[in-house]
């Protein structure tokens, strides 16, 4: 155990109080002082929701606190979604809530019982002084943390504001479920989040976009006026009953992220360290879990410094995951207007799965009847998971919603695909996906990324591709194969990926061209800016390659306008600095990619679909963002694109992507529902449960998976087997049918006792 004998806690919220109580309980000899500048009962909000997982941790760490909480909890398991006068209820979710004041009193009583020195209405001494006089200083002083601000050079906080205003209110009756209600007013969309926290009271949060808030006149109302107006707007949800407030004010949510959580013997905890949007009910939960982890690390590690390092290493990944889910939920409500016209049950399913924490699979476990009703409304035949429903693009019908994403193999010789490509693409076609995409196939020798890139600029390459498409059509009937055409632009003439990604060739380099003469990295070759004559040449290279692709027998053609390659380089303001007709405004930056698209579409067979891959954000300041991506998607759709393949990034080397599970799907979702064009979602979609969830929620039409298909070429067929699905959406090749069920494994369970000795 650490030698943290004297502990200072700054902040008297649940996180600070619970930390003090736990540390004192584990070592009664500790001297623990807690400072809180406000009165004991001063707090925001009304009710607190805790998960069963968090309660389990509390029970293990301090049974006395757990018993006190258990006596207070209101429990329910249903969620109501009310939209356009229709209520859809989903059960099996499991919530436990209590009043925030009651939670604080329980923690006050426990701290006093254990001997913690609680000092209310008393600002904490200066932090540097506390760090000198105490072995450990815990800063639990909330979202506006003065400690974090004072040491911002060490913690390096990033604080992000968001687009909605909200207000915490209370209703003097208990909802019988967690209730989400949507109000479509003349000023815009508003939403109510409500849940019970005692037998006769509920928390009510009213939220809306800033522009809706202003248009509705809330900016000109005082507190009571806002309360009365909210009660009137949501009169149906409230049964005509009033709302009340307690010094409630409209505010905007701020996401707090810190690069570091500790500094010497000073550590951040709860909202001082991180925040997660209230729509996933996680603020108090995270603070309590921080307290549990910090206390455990102080018990397990020999010094406070080592304990704080272990605490941050343990909690940071968990918090980052929660913040990603919270960000997805927050943005869903910010963009709520996009989903209002979805079928009613799909709308409810979309809301329930908005954070990606609840999925199709676990919602089916929680409430099979509700999930099946959503599937029926979507059009799933009985027993058919959403991923195995067909989808039509122009004259091509895909038998399921799974796409093998384009993945560069760097294994061609002189641009010619060989036996490796036949086996690679053929295996994945046999694996059951509805559409198998080639890697980026380059339109010229100078348009290659590496010497190992495949191409379509010669007849020999065309015939080699024909060999592959013939195999797919003959041996995997029902599977479509598509080609992705592209030009490397400024990212060309580099080594094979495993020899050094984006590193220039040591010898044999070819000259590069781009929208503007900007190297990709400081080590990269400086490209030449394309002249008007060269633009024409490049366009003709694309059309010639498209003509060859049609002769090679591909079912679909995708134009690569993403990832910083040539056409993408025209779209982004970070890589297009031209001052002629092909640079400047968004319309001018779109001009050349659209010219190429039109030329390719003109030679590509009319009945075969064309898609476009775009980077929906550059993940860099001043670059393409989500709103730009919607405009780009609309432009391509207006020119005849049948779908948009929505990726992100790889446009500039100094990007800062926000990686995480399904991290790119919100961009596809927005393009689909705002630009009204079919989309292909990509990016860390790793499970068939994710695919089902995204499809059924209406966030995408198709899901493209790369790495899962490298791990398992038969990923789609195995997904069907694991879900017990046998149907036209996943057809096993005749030679493989014996493997359509998981192989049996040896028994590992020991025989159960059958005879019990008497006595």
**How far apart are alpha carbons 116 and 130 in whole angstroms?**
17
Q: Which residues share a beta bridge with 687?
A: none
Handedness of CA 683, 685, 690, 695 (dihedral sign): positive
**In whole angstroms, what separates CA 699 from the centre of its chain?**
12
Q: What is 247-261 written as a DSSP string? A: S---EEEEEEEES-S
Residue 413 DSSP code: B
Catalytic residue among 134, 311, 565, 725: 565
Residues 6+ apart with CB under 8 A from 566: 447, 486, 487, 488, 489, 490, 513, 514, 515, 538
**How far apart are alpha carbons 559 and 546 in whole angstroms?**
10
**How far apart are alpha carbons 236 and 560 in whole angstroms?**
50
- Phi, psi values for residue 681, rounded to 5°: -95, 140
CB atoms within 10 A of CB 523: 12
Q: Can 565 be counted among the known catalytic residues? A: yes
Q: Mind spelling out the 3-state secondary structure of 131-144?
A: HHHCCEEEECCCCC
Tally of CA atoms within 13 A in the half-sphere of 284 that contains its CB: 26
**How far apart are alpha carbons 546 and 557 in whole angstroms?**
8
Beta-strand runs (E) in 428-536: 435-442, 480-486, 513-514, 528-529
Classify residue 257 as exposed, middle or buried by CB count within 10 Å of its CB (0-12, 13-18, 19+): middle
**How far apart are alpha carbons 433 and 715 in whole angstroms?**
8
**How far apart are alpha carbons 681 and 670 in whole angstroms?**
11
**In whole angstroms, what separates CA 607 from the centre of its chain?**
35
Q: At what angle do helices 459-475 and 419-430 cross, to 10 degrees?
A: 30
Q: At what angle do helices 283-300 and 304-334 cross, to 10 degrees?
A: 160
Q: Which residues share a beta bridge with 256?
A: 159
Catalytic residues: 565
């Amino acid at each position: 155990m650490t030698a943290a004998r004297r502990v200072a806690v700054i902040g008297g919220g649940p996180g600070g109080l619970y930390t003090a109580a736990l540390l004192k309980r584990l070592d009664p000899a500790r001297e623990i002082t807690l400072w809180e500048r406000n009165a004991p009962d001063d707090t925001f909000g009304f009710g607190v929701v805790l998960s069963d997982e968090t309660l389990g941790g509390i029970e293990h760490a301090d049974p006395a606190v757990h018993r006190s909480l258990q006596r207070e909890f209101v429990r329910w398991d249903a969620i109501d979604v009310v939209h356009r006068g229709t209520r859809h209820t989903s059960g099996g979710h499991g919530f436990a809530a209590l009043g925030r004041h009651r939670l604080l009193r329980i923690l006050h009583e426990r701290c006093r019982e254990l001997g913690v020195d609680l000092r209310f209405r008393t600002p904490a001494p200066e932090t540097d002084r506390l760090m000198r006089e105490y072995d450990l200083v815990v800063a639990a002083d909330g979202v506006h943390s003065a400690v974090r601000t004072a040491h911002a050079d060490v913690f390096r906080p990033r604080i992000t504001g968001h687009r909605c205003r909200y207000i915490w209110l209370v209703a003097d009756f208990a909802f019988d479920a967690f209730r989400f209600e949507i109000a479509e007013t003349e000023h815009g969309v508003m939403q109510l989040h409500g849940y019970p926290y005692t037998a006769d009271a509920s928390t009510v949060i009213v939220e809306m976009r800033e522009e809706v808030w202003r248009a509705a006149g809330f900016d000109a109302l005082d507190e009571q006026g806002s309360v009365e107006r909210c009660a009137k707007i949501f009169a149906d949800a409230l049964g005509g009953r009033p709302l009340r407030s307690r010094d409630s004010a409209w505010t905007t949510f701020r996401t707090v992220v810190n690069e570091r959580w500790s500094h010497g013997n000073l550590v951040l905890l709860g909202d001082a360290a991180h925040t997660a949007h209230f729509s996933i009910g996680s603020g108090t939960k995270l603070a309590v879990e921080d307290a549990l982890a910090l206390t455990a690390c102080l018990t397990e590690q020999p010094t406070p410094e080592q304990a704080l390092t272990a605490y941050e290493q343990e909690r940071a990944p968990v918090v980052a995951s929660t913040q990603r889910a919270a960000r997805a939920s927050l943005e869903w409500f910010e963009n709520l207007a996009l989903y209002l016209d979805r079928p009613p049950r799909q709308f409810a399913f979309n809301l329930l799965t908005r954070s990606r924490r609840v999925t199709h699979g676990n919602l089916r476990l929680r409430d099979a009847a509700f999930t099946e009703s959503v599937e029926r409304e979507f059009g799933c035949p009985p027993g058919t998971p959403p991923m195995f429903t067909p989808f039509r693009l122009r004259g091509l019908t895909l038998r399921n919603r799974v796409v093998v994403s384009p993945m560069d193999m760097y294994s061609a010789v002189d641009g010619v695909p060989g036996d490796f490509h036949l086996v690679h693409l053929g295996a994945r076609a046999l694996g059951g996906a509805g559409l198998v995409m080639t890697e980026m196939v380059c339109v010229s020798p100078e348009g290659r990324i590496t010497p190992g890139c495949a191409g379509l600029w010669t007849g020999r390459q065309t015939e080699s591709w024909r060999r592959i498409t013939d195999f797919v059509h003959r041996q995997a009937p029902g599977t479509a194969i598509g080609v992705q055409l592209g030009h490397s632009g400024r990212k060309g003439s580099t080594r094979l990926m495993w020899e050094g990604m984006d590193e220039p060739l040591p010898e044999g380099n070819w000259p590069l061209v781009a929208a503007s003469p900007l190297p990709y990295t400081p080590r990269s070759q400086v490209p030449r800016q394309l002249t008007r004559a060269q633009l024409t040449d490049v366009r003709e290279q694309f059309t010639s390659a498209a003509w060859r692709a049609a002769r090679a027998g591909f079912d679909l053609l995708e134009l690569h306008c993403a990832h910083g390659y040539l056409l993408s380089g025209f779209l982004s303001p970070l890589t297009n600095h031209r001052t002629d007709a092909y640079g400047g405004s968004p319309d001018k930056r779109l001009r050349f990619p659209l010219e190429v698209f039109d030329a390719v579409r003109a030679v590509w067979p009319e009945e075969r679909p064309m898609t476009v891959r775009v980077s929906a954000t550059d993940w860099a300041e001043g670059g393409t963002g989500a709103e730009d991506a919607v405009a780009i998607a609309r432009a391509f759709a207006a020119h005849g694109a049948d779908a948009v393949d929505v990726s992100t990034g790889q446009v500039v080397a100094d990007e800062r992507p926000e990686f995480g599970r399904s991290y790119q799907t919100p961009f596809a979702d927005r393009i689909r529902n705002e630009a009204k064009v079919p989309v292909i979602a990509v990016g860390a979609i790793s499970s068939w449960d994710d695919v089902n969830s995204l499809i059924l929620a209406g966030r995408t039409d198709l899901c493209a998976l790369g790495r899962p298909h490298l791990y398992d070429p038969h990923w789609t067929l195995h997904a069907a087997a694991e879900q017990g699905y046998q149907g036209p959406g996943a057809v096993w090749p005749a030679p493989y049918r014996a493997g359509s069920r998981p192989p049996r494994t040896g028994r590992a369970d020991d025989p159960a006792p059958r005879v019990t000795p008497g006595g």
